[in-house]
Amino acid sequence: MKIYSYKLLVLSLVMAGGIAFGLSRSSGFMDYLLLLFPALTTLMYFYYALTRDGYERYLKEAQTSRTEAGKRLGRFAFLDGMSPIIFLLLAGLVAYVLPEWKWLIWLLFIYAMILLVRSISKYIARLERDLKNP
């Protein structure tokens, strides 16, 4: 079996170890539900690392993502995928520094979740489009 991307293979193995650790520590249905998205991502990374079609799809998606981010954000394109994480960290910082401003904490948290859901929905729409037009 040929390995097309060692980086993705190592990343998927590390994620699989984290999922196994999470499964050993889980205590209920919600824990299993929270591990579902990382498990699907891990399977997708294994597919990308071990198959030619998967690796070509990964390269095409990465190039499309970089191009779209460059058009929208210019020189700040490297921050495109990190915006939900930035807002979550900002909400944590506000919660630490100004714990009495609960409205701002919730506003930042909800905005970060909206950004995360939008990015996931764009990714799913792109996958569906690619599956219809290979």
**48, 5 in Cβ contact below 8 A?**
yes
Q: Cα–Cα distance between 92 and 127 in angstroms, integer?
A: 32
Distance CA 84, CA 109 (A): 9
pTM above 0.85, yes or no: no
Over residues 44-103, the pLDDT tens digits come to 989 999 999 999 988 888 888 788 878 877 887 777 777 778 888 888 898 899 889 888
